[in-house]
């Protein structure tokens, strides 16, 4: 499978408002990574408070 970040939007730019498959996949991938980082930060913060 290709790396999502190697793909290009048919309009040449990954755009948050664009609905082509490439941009939608890019947004989903970014959201998943962001959520994972936020969970990790929350766990670290909990550990510091304990």
pLDDT tens column, 8-44? 676 666 666 788 888 888 889 888 999 999 999 999 9
pTM: 0.55
pLDDT at 1: 42
Contact 8, 22 (CB under 8 A): yes
Given a contact cutoff of 8 angstroms between Cβ atoms, the answer to whether 40 and 50 are in contact is no
pLDDT for 46 equals 92
| In contact, 33 and 24? CB cutoff 8 Å | no
For the chain, give the secondary structure using H, E and C. CCCHHHCCCCCCCCCCCCCCHHHHHHHHHHHHHHHHHHHHHHHHHHHHHC
Confidence of residue 5 (pLDDT cuts 50, 70, 90): very low
């Amino acid at each position: 499978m290709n790396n999502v970040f190697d793909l290009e939007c048919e309009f040449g730019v990954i755009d948050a408002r664009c609905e082509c498959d490439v941009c939608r996949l890019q947004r989903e991938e970014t959201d998943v990574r962001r959520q994972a980082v936020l969970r990790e930060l929350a766990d670290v913060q909990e550990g510091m408070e304990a």
